[in-house]
C-alpha cells in the first residue's frame, strides 16, 4: 500500500496492519511495516550503514541491505534519515499526569519509547499497582519503574522519619523492596537530598540495595549533595553499592555550585576509582546548564532560618539573578521571574524575600537555577559511562522534558561534533537497556522488540527555553512502539501501544 494513498489520521495504524483475507489454498500474508532507504544506527555503537528494517507484529523480523515489501505492507521511505532504536530515558518523571495525557506527546516527539520512573526515591507502592495502571491507561510509550527508598521509608516510619531507622524497621523496608522487585521493579532508587531519605544512613540504604541486587537490579541515587559536597556524595553512593554488591547509577550528574565548576574530570575519576575496587558505576545526565528543584536545596544543611546561609547559597550558584521561580501559589505573578527581579520590584533584599516566601509557603518553592558550567556538561556528554536522560515531565516547567534527546543530537553531535552519531545513539539505547535488564530492547536486530525512531539528522533539535519550556522538539518524523506507529510523518496517531515492562531476573 502506498502510504500517500491514506490521508494522515483517517485510518488507525492498527487497521492498516490487519492482514488481508488470503485466497483459498494460500497461506495468509502477514502485513508488515517496512522502513527502507535509511541510514541505520543499530544502537550497538558500530558504524551507521544503509539498511532496511521489516517489522511484523511487535518485533523486528528482518534487517537487510535491501528488502522488497509485500504489496500490502506499510512502507516508510527513510532516505536521508536516520533509523535507530527508540530512545530509552533512564531518569524520567513522565508518569506524572500519564492518566490525563496518555499520548505522551512531549516524549514521542523526542523519540522516547521507554521512560524509567520511580526516581528520587519516590515511587508508587505497591509496584504491581503502578504497572497495572500503565496497562489500563495504555499510554503511547513504554514504562518501567524503580522501587523508591523514600516511599518505602515513608510507609514504614510515617511522620517520624527524621531519625535513623531501627533494625526492625529496616527489616520491614527490606520486605517492601523485595515485594517491589518481585513485582517487576528494575532496581532501587533513592533521593538522599530530599525527605525522608535525607535522614537515612548508609547502612540502611545498603541493606535495601542488597535486596535489589538479589534480583539483578541496580541502585540509582539522586545523591545527598549536588553542590559543594557533590564529590563526597558520589563516594557515598558508591560505598552503598560496595556494601550491597550492586551496580551503582548516579542520577542526573551535575556539579551545581561555583566551588565545583570545572571539576567533572575529578568527579569522573571517582567512577574510575570505584571500578578499581570492583564496583560498577554509571551515570546519566541532561544537556542543560540549569536545573529544576525546590528552593531549599540551595542550603543543603537545611539551616533555612539563617540568613547568612542563604547569602552563601545564592553566591555559590552565581547570585539571585540565576534563580527563577517556577511555582509559588501564594503569588503566581512571581512565576517566570528571578529572585533578583522580584526583590527589586518589591524594594527588598533577595534574602529577606526568600525568608518571607519560606514563612508563607514553606521550603517547597519551585525554582530553576542556572548553576552548571558548560565545560562540565561537555565532559559528561562524551564519557561512555554517562547515559542521556531528561529528568523531565510530560508537561513540566523545564525544557528538558521536551527536548533532551534531540538537543544531544543537534548540539553535541551535529553542531559541536563532540560525539559520533553511533556513540550518541548507544548512550540513548542499548547501554540503558543493558542497565535495565531488557535484552530485547535498545537495538535493531532480528527478534528485538520494534521500538524504532526515524529522524532527520540535519534538523533534529530542541526548541524550549526557560521562559517558554513547553516547545516540542523537531526532527523526529516517525516513532514505532511495540510495532505500532505512534508518530507518522510528524503527525501523532491514535495508537497507544505502550506497555508496563518488568525486569527479568
Whether residues 197 and 254 share a domain: the answer is: yes
Whether residues 237 and 338 share a domain: the answer is: no
Which domain does 431 fall in, by range? Answer: 87-289+372-438
Whether residue 396 lies inside any domain: the answer is yes
Neighbours of 9 (CB within 10 A): 11
> What pLDDT sits at residue 305?
94
Rounded Cα distance, 281 and 260, in Å = 21
Residue 71 pLDDT exceeds 50:
yes
Whether residues 326 and 223 share a domain: the answer is: no
Number of domains in the chain: 2
Q: Pick from 368, 403, 427: which residue ends a domain?
A: 368
Residue 13 pLDDT exceeds 60:
no
Are 498 and 141 in contact by the 8 Å Cβ rule? The answer is yes
Whether residue 481 lies inside any domain: the answer is no
Whether residues 102 and 220 share a domain: the answer is: yes
**Three-state secondary structure of 57-118:** CCEEEEEECCCCCCCCCEEEECCCCEEEECEEECCCCCCCCCCCCCCCHHHHCCCEEEEEEC
Whether residue 12 lies inside any domain: the answer is no
Task: Work out the pLDDT band at 31, boundaries 50, 70, 90.
Answer: confident
Whether residues 161 and 258 share a domain: the answer is: yes
**6, 29, 33, 211, 358 from 23: Cα distances, Å:** 24, 10, 22, 56, 74
Whether residues 176 and 245 share a domain: the answer is: yes
pLDDT digits (tens, 9 = 90+) for 81-95: 999 999 999 999 999
Are 190 and 159 in contact by the 8 Å Cβ rule? The answer is no
What percent of the chain is predicted at pLDDT more than 90? Answer: 93
> CATH number of the domain that 188 lies in?
3.20.20.140
Rounded Cα distance, 291 and 286, in Å = 9
Residue 28 pLDDT exceeds 60:
no
Among all chains, which residue has been given the C-alpha cell 574530570? 265
Q: Pick from 438, 469, 485: which residue ends a domain?
A: 438
Whether residues 194 and 259 share a domain: the answer is: yes
**DSSP for residue 260:** G
Whether residue 394 lies inside any domain: the answer is yes
Residue 280 pLDDT exceeds 70:
yes
Residue 22 pLDDT exceeds 50:
no
pLDDT digits (tens, 9 = 90+) for 376-415: 999 999 999 999 999 999 999 999 999 999 999 999 999 9
pLDDT digits (tens, 9 = 90+) for 428-468: 999 999 999 999 999 999 999 999 999 999 999 999 999 99
pLDDT digits (tens, 9 = 90+) for 111-170: 999 999 999 999 999 999 999 999 999 999 999 999 999 999 999 999 999 999 999 999
Whether residues 266 and 229 share a domain: the answer is: yes
Amino acid at each position: 500500500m502506498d502510504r500517500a494513498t491514506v490521508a494522515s489520521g483517517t485510518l488507525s495504524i492498527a487497521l492498516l496492519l490487519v492482514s488481508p483475507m488470503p485466497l483459498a489454498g494460500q497461506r495468509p500474508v502477514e502485513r508488515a511495516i517496512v522502513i527502507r532507504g535509511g541510514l541505520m544506527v543499530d544502537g550497538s555503537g558500530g558504524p551507521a550503514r544503509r539498511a532496511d528494517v521489516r517489522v511484523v507484529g511487535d518485533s523486528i523480523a528482518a534487517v537487510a541491505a535491501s528488502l522488497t515489501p509485500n504489496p500490502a505492507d506499510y512502507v516508510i521511505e527513510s532516505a536521508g534519515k536516520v533509523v535507530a532504536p527508540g530512545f530509552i530515558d533512564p531518569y524520567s518523571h513522565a508518569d506524572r499526569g500519564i492518566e490525563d495525557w496518555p499520548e505522551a506527546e512531549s516524549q514521542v516527539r523526542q523519540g522516547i519509547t521507554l521512560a524509567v520512573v520511580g526516581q528520587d526515591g519516590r515511587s508508587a507502592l505497591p509496584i504491581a499497582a503502578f504497572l497495572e495502571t500503565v496497562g489500563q491507561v495504555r499510554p503511547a510509550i513504554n514504562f518501567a519503574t524503580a522501587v523508591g527508598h523514600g516511599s518505602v521509608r515513608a510507609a514504614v516510619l510515617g511522620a517520624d522519619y527524621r531519625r535513623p531507622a531501627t533494625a526492625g524497621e529496616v527489616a520491614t523496608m527490606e520486605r517492601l523492596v523485595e515485594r517491589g522487585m518481585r513485582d517487576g521493579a528494575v532496581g532501587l532508587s533513592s533521593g538522599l537530598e530530599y525527605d525522608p531519605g535525607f535522614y537515612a544512613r548508609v547502612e540502611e540504604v545498603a541493606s535495601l540495595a542488597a535486596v535489589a541486587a538479589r534480583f539483578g537490579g541496580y541502585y540509582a541515587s539522586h545523591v545527598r549533595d549536588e553542590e559543594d559536597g557533590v564529590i563526597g556524595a558520589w563516594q557515598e553512593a558508591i560505598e552503598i553499592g560496595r556494601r550491597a554488591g550492586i551496580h551503582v547509577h548516579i542520577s542526573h550528574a551535575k556539579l551545581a555550585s561555583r566551588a565545583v565548576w570545572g571539576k567533572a574530570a575529578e568527579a569522573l575519576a571517582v567512577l574510575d576509582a570505584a571500578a578499581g575496587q570492583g564496583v560498577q558505576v554509571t551515570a546519566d545526565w541532561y544537556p542543560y546548564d540549569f536545573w529544576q528543584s525546590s528552593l531549599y536545596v540551595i542550603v543543603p544543611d537545611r539551616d533555612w532560618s539563617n540568613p547568612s546561609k542563604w547569602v552563601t547559597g545564592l553566591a555559590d550558584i552565581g547570585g539571585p539573578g540565576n534563580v527563577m521561580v517556577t511555582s509559588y501559589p501564594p503569588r503566581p505573578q512571581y512565576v517566570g521571574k528571578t529572585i533578583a527581579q522580584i526583590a527589586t520590584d518589591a524594594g527588598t533584599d533577595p534574602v529577606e524575600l526568600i525568608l518571607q516566601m519560606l514563612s508563607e509557603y514553606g521550603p517547597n518553592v519551585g525554582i530553576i537555577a542556572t548553576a552548571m558550567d558548560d565545560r562540565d556538561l561537555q565532559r559528561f556528554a562524551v564519557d561512555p559511562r554517562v547515559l542521556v536522560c531528561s529528568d523531565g515531565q510530560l508537561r513540566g516547567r523545564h525544557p528538558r522534558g521536551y527536548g533532551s534527546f534531540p538537543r544531544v543530537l543537534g548540539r553535541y553531535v551535529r553542531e559541536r561534533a563532540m560525539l559520533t552519531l553511533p556513540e550518541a545513539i548507544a548512550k540513548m539505547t542499548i547501554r540503558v537497556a543493558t542497565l535495565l535488564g531488557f535484552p530485547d530492547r535498545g537495538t535493531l536486530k532480528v527478534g528485538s522488540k520494534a521500538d524504532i525512531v526515524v529522524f532527520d539528522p540535519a534538523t533534529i533539535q530542541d526548541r524550549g527555553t526557560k521562559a517558554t519550556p513547553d516547545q516540542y522538539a523537531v526532527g523526529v518524523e516517525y516513532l514505532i512502539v511495540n510495532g505500532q506507529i505512534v508518530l507518522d510523518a510528524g503527525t501523532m496517531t491514535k495508537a497507544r501501544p505502550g506497555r508496563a515492562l518488568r525486569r527479568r531476573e
